Structure 1
Amino acid sequence: MVLRLKKVLLAWWEHRPIKSDHVFVNIEEYAFCKDYLGEPFTNRQHFMERLCEKAEVKTFGFHAIRHLTASLLYREGQPVAVVQAVLRHKSPQTTTRYLQSLGLKQTQEAMEAVMGQRGPGKISRISARTGKENM
């Protein structure tokens, strides 16, 4: 957890309107929520939708935050192993799938940065009959 997030969560803990053993509890007073006032969340079906609505931004979910985190870390030069640890993936292949969503433009730029600096390559002809290289 980054220090800024820790500070925000501690501030919420100290100033939240309902004291509880849990950090996040239901504080809404809608008719369908009143029975659960002060109780911890057991279902977050509409949680992100409501947060986005209050923030007046396009709706997104928890998984989008994971994708963004992975993308930002990788674009800033962090190795796959670091991204894997942050996302708590067991397998680096899972992390690699996340990173593949960075898109074609970044892939092309990376290939150009690595391969574009090289001089002309050697051309070798391969015989159609033998499949062996002819020099």
Structure 2
Amino acid sequence: MEGPYLDRKKIMRTLCAKAGVRYFRFQALRHAGAPVMESFNVSIGSIQRILGHENRSTTEIYLHSIGDSERQAIAA
């Protein structure tokens, strides 16, 4: 994984293989992390800044990407 150009997909595949988990896109972590932060009462503004979103509406998409059953599991 050296050189001036790094292929993010290749890096994730390598990391997943080393960890013994099925490959997933890095973007999935962002979609999973936003609701977790919200469950810990992190403000939407803070989540927006952490994710680097310019518009609040983009952050809200991430917050609504999981259903109620997943939210209950996070809160448990």
Distance 1:69 1:55 in 2: 19
Alignment of 1:44-59 (within 5 A): 44-59=8-23
- Extract unaligned runs of 5+ from structure 1: 1-24, 27-38, 108-135
Distance 2:17 2:6 in 1: 21
Q: Is the contact between residue 9 and residue 25 of structure 2 (CA under 8 Å) also seen in structure 1?
A: no
Larger RCO, structure (CA 8 Å, separation 6 or more): 2
Distance 1:60 1:79 in 2: 27
Sequence identity percentage: 32
Amino acid of the structure 1 residue aligned with 2:13? E
- Extract unaligned runs of 5+ from structure 2: none
1:93 to 53, 57, 60: 57
SS of equivalent residue, structure 1 residue 101:
coil
Distance 2:58 2:26 in 1: 17
Give the structure with the higher percent helix: 2
- How many aligned residue pairs are there? 71
Give the corresponding residue for 1:60. Answer: 24
TM-score when scaled to structure 2? 0.77
TM-score when scaled to structure 1? 0.47
SS of equivalent residue, structure 1 residue 97:
helix
- Measured after TM superposition, the shift of residue 59 of structure 1 is 1.1
1:73 to 34, 37, 43: 37
SS of equivalent residue, structure 1 residue 41:
coil
RMSD: 1.8
